[in-house]
Amino acid sequence: MKVTVFDHPLIQHKISIMRSVETSCKEFRELVKEVTMFMCYESLRDMPLKDVEVTTPLTTCKTKMLAGQEIAVVPILRAGLGMVEGVLELVPTAKVGHIGLYRDEVTMKPHAYYCKLPKNIDERCIIVTDPMLATGGSAVAAINFIKERGGKNIKFMCMIAAPEGLKVLTEAHPDVDVYCAHLDEGLNEHCYILPGLGDAGDRIFGTK
């Protein structure tokens, strides 16, 4: 298990703009996509390569190309949808699954309402996306779903993580590599991340 918290200045800058209550829905959506692209680039560092021979205008050379490992991006609905485009921008051939979960506002436990994954999920590198890792309940439940359906090679990517959620996730799924753009201070009494950025779904979709 590997946890990567990004310290790159561009990511820190963009996350700070996302936090601001002044940032519009349009800007917020664009920033989610941009930060996802940066994180996706790093998270795919271990993609397998194969040797190929290429003819340049001057000569031939032995070089490397992607070995063609299939990728699936699986957003946790709804806010995770905002990160899909960022992954597809870098990996346009990736297939997309969906897991529908919402957090009960009283118990804070995740409730599942949908799960549809691409075929051959057991052979794919799977990137689960959700901007917020708060208590960790939704991420753990989503990864349970994927594993029950055969998924093995799983990465989890979020914008903001709370230490509480990170602990729950890494203990439940120690085999999953976790990528977060920022690790925040903790949760408030309503299990919202502080300082956080509010309700990610509402900010991406302009609800509320």
Residues in the interface with ligand URA (CB under 6 A) total 9
199 as an active site residue: the answer is yes
Contact letters (x/-) for ligand URA, 4-43, by CB under 6 A?
A: ----------------------------------------
Which of these is catalytic: 46, 107, 122, 175?
Answer: 107
DSSP reduced 3-state for 161: strand
Query: For this structure, is 202 an active site residue?
Result: yes
149: closest CA among 111, 112, 184, 183? 112
DSSP codes, 140-154: HHHHHHHHHTT--EE
Q: Which amino acid, 170?
A: T
Residue count of the chain = 208
CA distance 175 to 188: 28
CA–CA dist 30, 33 (Å, integer): 5
In whole angstroms, how close is the CB of 36 to ligand PRP at the nearest point? 14
List interacting residues with ligand PRP (CB under 6 A).
76-79, 101-103, 108, 110, 130-139, 165, 191, 199-201
**Contact track, ligand URA, 162-201, x by CB under 6 A:** ------------------------------xx--x--xxx
Residues tagged active-site: 103, 107, 199, 202
